[in-house]
Amino acid sequence: MAKKIIDIRGVSKSFGGKTVLKDINLFINQGEFLTLLGPSGCGKTTLLRMIAGFLQPDEGSILLDGKELGDTPPHLRPLNTVFQRYALFPHLDVYDNIAFGLKLKGVPEDEIEKRVRKVLKLVVMSDYEDRDVETLSGGQQQRIAIARAIVNQPKVLLLDEPLAALDLKMRKDMQIELKEMHRKLGITFIYVTHDQEEALTLSDTIVVMNEGRIQQIGTPIDIYNEPVNAFVADFIGESNILNGTMIRDRRVSFIGHDFDCVDEGFGENTPVDVVVRPEDIYFTTEAAKTQFTATGGYRYRQRTDDPGLRSLPRGEHRAAVHRPGRHPGHEKGAHDQRAGSHGFRRRQHRAAGRHLRVQHRRLFRGRQGARGDSVRCR
Partner 1 sequence: MKMTKRSQWALPYVIFLGLFVVLPLFLVLVYAFQDGAGRFTFSNITRFFTDRDALSTFALSLEVAIENTAICILIGYPAAWILANRKLNRSAVTIVLFIIPMWVNALMRTLATAELFNMMGLQLGKGTLIFGMVYDYLPFMIYPIYNILERMDKSYAEAAADLGADSWTVFRKVTLPLSLPGVASGVLMVFMPTVSTFAISEFLTNNRIKLFGTIIQENINSSMWNYGAALSLIMLIIIGITSLLTGGDKEEQMEGGMV
- Interface contacts to partner 1, rule CB under 8 A: 52, 54, 73-76, 79-81, 83-85, 87-91, 100-101, 104-105, 148-149, 152
Question: Based on CB atoms, which residue is closest to partner 1, 25 or 84?
Answer: 84
Question: Based on CB atoms, which residue is closest to partner 1, 85 or 179?
Answer: 85
- Min dist CB 336 to partner 1, Å, is 43
Question: Based on CB atoms, which residue is closest to partner 1, 6 or 79?
Answer: 79
Question: Based on CB atoms, which residue is closest to partner 1, 80 or 348?
Answer: 80
- Min dist CB 216 to partner 1, Å, is 29
Which residues neighbour 148 within 8 Å (Cβ) at sequence distance 6 or greater? 80, 88, 97, 98, 100, 101
Q: Within its chain, how far is the Cα of 180 from the centroid?
A: 18
Cα separation values, 99 from 71, 89, 176, Å: 27, 11, 26
Do 243 and 254 touch, CB atoms closer than 8 A?
yes
Question: Based on CB atoms, which residue is closest to partner 1, 101 or 237?
Answer: 101
CB atoms < 10 A from the CB of 2, how many?
A: 11
- Min dist CB 100 to partner 1, Å, is 5
How open is the CA angle 337-247-306, to the nearest 5 degrees? 45
DSSP 243: E
Which residues neighbour 34 within 8 Å (Cβ) at sequence distance 6 or greater? 28, 188, 189, 190, 191, 203, 204, 205, 206, 207
CB atoms < 10 A from the CB of 231, how many?
A: 24
Question: Based on CB atoms, which residue is closest to partner 1, 115 or 342?
Answer: 115
Do 132 and 89 touch, CB atoms closer than 8 A?
no
User: Which is it for strands 79-82 and 251-254: parallel, antiparallel or unpaired?
Assistant: unpaired
Which residues neighbour 224 within 8 Å (Cβ) at sequence distance 6 or greater? 200, 236, 237
DSSP string, 126-164: TT-TTSBGGGS-HHHHHHHHHHHHHTT--SEEEEESTTT
Which residues neighbour 72 within 8 Å (Cβ) at sequence distance 6 or greater? 53
Q: Which helix (H) or strand (E) holds 272?
A: strand 270-276
- Min dist CB 89 to partner 1, Å, is 6
Question: Based on CB atoms, which residue is closest to partner 1, 83 or 283?
Answer: 83
Q: Please give the Cα distance from 213 to 209 (Å, whole number).
A: 6
- Min dist CB 33 to partner 1, Å, is 20
Question: Based on CB atoms, which residue is closest to partner 1, 152 or 193?
Answer: 152
- Min dist CB 81 to partner 1, Å, is 5
Q: Pseudo-torsion of CA 262, 266, 271, 276, nearest 10°?
A: -30
- Min dist CB 52 to partner 1, Å, is 6
- Min dist CB 22 to partner 1, Å, is 25
Question: Based on CB atoms, which residue is closest to partner 1, 76 or 287?
Answer: 76
- Min dist CB 93 to partner 1, Å, is 13
